[in-house]
Structure formats: C-alpha cells, structure tokens
Structure 1
Amino acid sequence: MKLKDMPRVLRPREKLVEKGVEYLSNAELLALLLRSGVVGTSVVELSRRIIKRYSPASLTHIGYDDLITVHGINQAKACTILAAFELSKRAAGLGSNALPEIQKSIDAAAQLTFIRNRKKEYFVVLYLNTRDQLMKREIISVGTLDSSLIHPREVFQPAIACNAARVILGHNHPSGDHTPSTADRSVTRRIVEAGKILGISVRDHIVISEHGYSSMADKDMLQ
C-alpha cells in the first residue's frame, strides 16, 4: 500500500504539513523515505518492522549489506535510507566517524556484516569505551578459529592501546551455520579469563553467517 492510498489522517506527509515534522514517529519519518510498502504490508508497517529490528542507537549505522536483507527493502530503498542518514549526520556535524553505541547484540552484529559472506573465517574484535561506544574494530586473524591460533595477547593489546573498557568478539562461519561450536566456546573462555586478569570484560561473542547470527551472551555461553 502506498502513502496516497492510506486514510488522510494516517498519512505521514499530511501529518507533517499540518502539525510539523517533530510530531512524526520514527516509523512515520522512515515511511516518507520509503514511499511505498510491499504486497500485503503498508509502508508504515514496513517502517515499524525496521525500527523494531534495530535499536535507535544503531539505526543510523546500518550497513547496506544488512539493510538489503530486510524483506521489502530493495536497492533503491536501501540507498535512500543510507543517504538520508549520512546527510543527517553531516548536517549535525558528526560526520561518518561518529561513534556508534553497541547496546544490544544486534548492534554488534551490524558491525560484523562485512565478514558474514567471507569464504574464510575472520576473527574480529570490537573495542568499546565506558559508554559502550565503538572506538575501534580490528581483524585479529583470518583462518580456522582455534585456541592455539587466537592468543589473548592479540585481542587485548589493541584494547590497552585505545584504553577500551570492554570488548566484543566476533567471527563468521562460512558454512552458513551460525551455531557456536565447541572450539568457539573454548576460545571464548580463554579470552574471558584473560580479560578478567586485565580488568577488561568480554561482553559478547557474535558468530555470524549469511543466514543470521548467534550471540553467546544472549545464550549465556560466555563462561
């Protein structure tokens, strides 16, 4: 359903003109950018799904590869959304280097979408400050994830250098199955224990693939 087909009282454009842009919800603002929904789903409902899927803090830091996976979002809609968010950041003087907040596991996963389709395993660490803002993202290793290959020193040296308060681990499964393996849990436990000694907590370990992601913190698998 397109905006013009909705009852006038529910149309975001008319609401903006009559009351002002500040009276529109996040979903209504997004609906104005999308302009149309998909078969069986109005543009406002599609916008609500996107808002529900991402936290407000991560919404302006969504990548193209992640956004295009949302049902109803094609290339044109994805580009429109990304362009609008980038323009708003520049207008606010924040620029593209504004520090995104990592509040939920989905926020962390959004920072790892660049490795989800890789043919080799990439082990990546996100370094956060005390406000859970992403300070640095670094690829630690490429290849099979193994406790003998991933040394805690390689994880925590950058953390100490940038004065990170906590870290989030992440790696991809080229097989497409994002279920944490026994090896994943072994590596995680070793790094968690090392972090306790250094006073730098491991907040999560995200396993991502082309079919989705798993959060070891959400599954209570960090210990």
Structure 2
Amino acid sequence: MVLQLKTELAVREAAIDGTLITTPEHVERYLSELKEAAQECFVVIAMNAKNKVIEKHLVSLGTVSSALVHPRECFRPLILSGASSCILAHNHPSGDSTPSAEDIKITRQLISAGEIMGIKILDHVVIGDRALSLREAGLCHFS
C-alpha cells in the first residue's frame, strides 16, 4: 500500500502541464521514475489537440512481471481531463522492453475503445533499459 501511494504520488508530481512529447525518448524521459520501479506501472499521458501534456495518471500498479489494465480505468482520467489523445506507457522492471503478446493485445483493445470514445491513442511505449514504441515497431495500427 505504501509503495503504491509513493508511486502514484511520483507519477502525479512529475507531470508538467504543457510538455510537448513527440518521440518515445521524450516519453522515457518524462516517465523516468518508471525505470526505477520494482513493479509494472501502467500510465496514461493525457494530451490536448496540440499533443501537449494535460496530465498523466497511474492506471495500474502490478507485479514484477504484469499489470492488470482495463479500458474503463484508462479512459476515466482521459475523459475527466478533456483529453483529445493520449500516450500509453508502462515499464518492464526486468529491463527488457520487448512487448509481450498481452501488451500488444491490450494496446489493440485500447485503440479500438479510443476510436469509439473519440480519444486517439498515439502510441504505447514500453520502458525497460531503453524505450520501445509499439508504433515505431509496427506492432499495432494507431490512428
């Protein structure tokens, strides 16, 4: 419980409204606290129409090898913040940023949900020893 609260506070405190994020490396720097996390953390970065950060939210705090993610939990903060798009991100505490089959599956589900909700998913970045963009890797079709 204490670790979860510390992680949630770190994610909230690190948010800098108006930050422009255009590359996976920007996401990696913006979420640098995730590199040190011992558990998987799934974060949504709410963006405005000009792709500037509105805020970011910790959606799920998991175990050393997985985090349970549900579309409802991802989109609630995006809707409340008035986001027009978002970037998904999560860490792999092992350091291996290779996305799992489940990472790809949930990304596709969230892209579909985003299309229905009118909130574009711009990318999903997996943070390990380096950042891996599912968009750049061609693993999902982003709108």
Change over 3 Å in CA distance of 1:212–1:158 after alignment to 2? same
Does 2:72 correspond to 1:153? yes
Q: Is the contact between residue 205 and residue 222 of structure 1 (CA under 8 Å) also seen in structure 2?
A: no
Q: Could you tell me the percent identity over the aligned residues?
A: 35
Give, in angstroms, the shift of residue 109 of structure 1.
Answer: 1.8
Alignment RMSD: 1.6
Indicate the SS of the match to 2:103: helix
Q: What is the alpha-carbon distance in structure 2 between the residues aligned to residue 125 and residue 97 of structure 1?
A: 14
Residues 33-90 of structure 1, C-alpha deviation per residue, up to 9 Å, x if partnerless? xxxxxxxxxxxxxxxxxxxxxxxxxxxxxxxxxxxxxxxxxxxxxxxxxxxxxxxxxx
- Report whether the alignment pairs 1:187 with 2:80: no
Report the equivalent of 1:198.
Answer: 117
Secondary structure of residue in 1 paired with 2:56? strand
Q: How much does 1:222 deviate?
A: 2.1
Q: How many residue pairs were aligned?
A: 125
Kindly indicate whether the alpha-carbon contact (under 8 Å) linking 2:45 and 2:56 is maintained by their aligned counterparts in 1: yes
Length-normalised TM-score, structure 2? 0.81
Checking the alignment, whether the CA contact within 8 Å between 2:44 and 2:74 is kept in structure 1 is yes
- Structure with greater helix share of residues: 1
Please give the residue correspondences for 1:93-132 in structure 2 after superposition, counting only pairs within 5 Å: 97=16, 99-132=18-51
Gaps of 5+ in 1: 1-95
- Secondary structure of the 1:116 match is helix
Structure 2 residue runs without a partner (length 5+) = 1-14
Q: Distance between the aligned counterparts of 2:16 and 2:124, measured in 1?
A: 24
Q: Secondary structure at the match of 1:158?
A: helix
The one-letter amino acid of 1:101's match is L
**2:95 is matched by which residue type in structure 1?**
G
Equivalent position of 2:6 in the other structure: none
Shift of 1:157: 1.0
> Aligned residue for 1:208?
127
**Higher share in strand:** 2
Q: How much has 1:136 moved relative to structure 2?
A: 0.6
- Which amino acid is 1:128 matched to? M
| Larger RCO, structures 1/2 (Cα 8 Å, 6+ apart) | 2
In structure 2, how many angstroms separate the alpha carbons of the residues matched to 1:158 and 1:125?
8
Stretches (4+) displaced over 3 A = none
Instruction: Identify if the C-alpha distance between structure 1 residues 119 and 106 changes in structure 2 by more than 3 Å, giving closer, same or farther.
Output: same
Q: Are 2:24 and 2:131, in contact at CA under 8 Å, matched by a contact in 1?
A: no
Q: In structure 2, what residue type is equivalent to 1:200? A: I
| Residue 97 to residue 172, structure 1, CA distance change in 2 (3 Å) | closer
User: CA offset at residue 97 of structure 1?
Assistant: 4.7
In structure 2, the CA distance between the partners of 1:103 and 1:183, relative to structure 1 (3 Å rule), is same
Question: In structure 2, what residue type is equivalent to 1:157?
Answer: R
State the partner residue of 2:3: none
